């Protein structure tokens, strides 16, 4: 279909170029005719003006007819090409094409699911691992002494935060800033 359109454009473009060339040639011919007629011969000048008008009108009419003929043939060829394309068209139950964004989303979801599965497997393996066994033993020892492990965020002030937490346990109201001042 696109080949037909480009072919039609080429044909129309060629026709327009040919028309321009013919107009230039006609103008040159008219100029030559005007130069051939003496200025003081009014009768021949009048005849020349009529001939020029007649030639220009004939050329205009010819160009219009050629353009109309080209447009008619291009419409017919469009109709023919559409008919051929429709006859070549095979209607099938084609699956819905998934967009690229949907493909990326599906891929990301699959990777996330796979990651979650690996984490679950790692947790199961860690139940029998040395780290887990060590943390179990430490928890038993601390429980026997009535102590517990507290999670302190590692924000660069974790030592001060740990001391602050211990002071809060003993009802002392010092914060991280005061501890830093007293350290210096």
Residue 84 sits in the same domain as residue 157 = no
Helix (H/G/I), strand (E/B), else coil: 92: coil
How is residue 167 written in tokens? 């002071």
Instruction: Tell whether 41 is covered by a domain.
Output: yes
The DSSP letter of residue 97 is: P
**Would the CA dihedral through 58, 62, 64, 68 be positive or negative?**
positive
Instruction: Tell whether 132 is covered by a domain.
Output: yes
Residue 124 sits in the same domain as residue 183 = no
How do residues 83-93 score in pLDDT, each as one tens digit?
666 766 655 55
**Residues lower than pLDDT 70 in the chain:** 1-9, 80, 82-85, 87-95, 174-184
Q: Which pLDDT score is estimated for 104?
A: 92
Q: Which pLDDT score is estimated for 105?
A: 93
Residue 75 sits in the same domain as residue 136 = no
Q: Which pLDDT score is estimated for 163?
A: 83
> Of all residues in the chain, what percent are helix, strand and coil, respectively (each to 5)?
80, 0, 20
Instruction: Tell whether 110 is covered by a domain.
Output: no
Residue 79 sits in the same domain as residue 6 = yes
Residue 11 sits in the same domain as residue 79 = yes
Integer-rounded Cα radius of gyration of the chain: 47
Whole-number Å distance between alpha carbons of 184 and 149: 29
Residue 165 sits in the same domain as residue 145 = no
How do residues 133-152 score in pLDDT, each as one tens digit?
888 899 999 999 998 888 88
Residue 27 sits in the same domain as residue 80 = yes
Residue 29 sits in the same domain as residue 71 = yes
Instruction: Tell whether 123 is covered by a domain.
Output: yes
How is residue 25 written in tokens? 């040639």
Residue 120 sits in the same domain as residue 74 = no
Q: Which pLDDT score is estimated for 184?
A: 44
Instruction: Tell whether 122 is covered by a domain.
Output: yes
Q: Which pLDDT score is estimated for 24?
A: 92
Residue 72 sits in the same domain as residue 14 = yes
Residue from 22, 8, 24 nearest 64 by CA: 22
Instruction: Tell whether 38 is covered by a domain.
Output: yes
Domain count, the chain: 3
Instruction: Tell whether 95 is covered by a domain.
Output: no
Q: Which pLDDT score is estimated for 2?
A: 53
pTM over 0.85: no
Residue 63 sits in the same domain as residue 22 = yes
Domain that holds residue 158: 150-184
Q: Which pLDDT score is estimated for 151?
A: 87
How is residue 103 written in tokens? 């493909």
């Amino acid at each position: 279909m696109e080949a037909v359109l480009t072919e039609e454009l080429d044909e129309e473009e060629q026709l327009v170029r040919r028309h321009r060339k013919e107009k230039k040639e006609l103008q040159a011919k008219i100029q030559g005719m005007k130069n051939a007629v003496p200025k003081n011969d009014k009768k021949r000048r009048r005849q020349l003006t009529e001939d020029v008008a007649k030639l220009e009108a004939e050329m205009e009419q010819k160009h219009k007819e050629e353009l109309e003929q080209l447009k008619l043939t291009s419409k017919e060829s469009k109709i023919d090409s559409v008919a051929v394309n429709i006859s070549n068209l095979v209607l099938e139950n084609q699956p819905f094409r998934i967009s690229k964004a949907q493909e990326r989303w599906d891929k990301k979801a699959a990777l996330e699911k796979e990651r979650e599965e690996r984490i679950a497997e790692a947790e199961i393996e860690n139940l029998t691992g040395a780290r887990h066994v060590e943390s179990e033993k430490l928890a038993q020892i601390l429980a026997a002494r009535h102590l517990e492990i507290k999670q302190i965020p590692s924000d660069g002030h974790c030592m001060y935060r740990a001391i602050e937490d211990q002071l809060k346990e003993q009802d002392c109201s010092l914060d991280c800033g005061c501890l830093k001042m007293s350290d210096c």
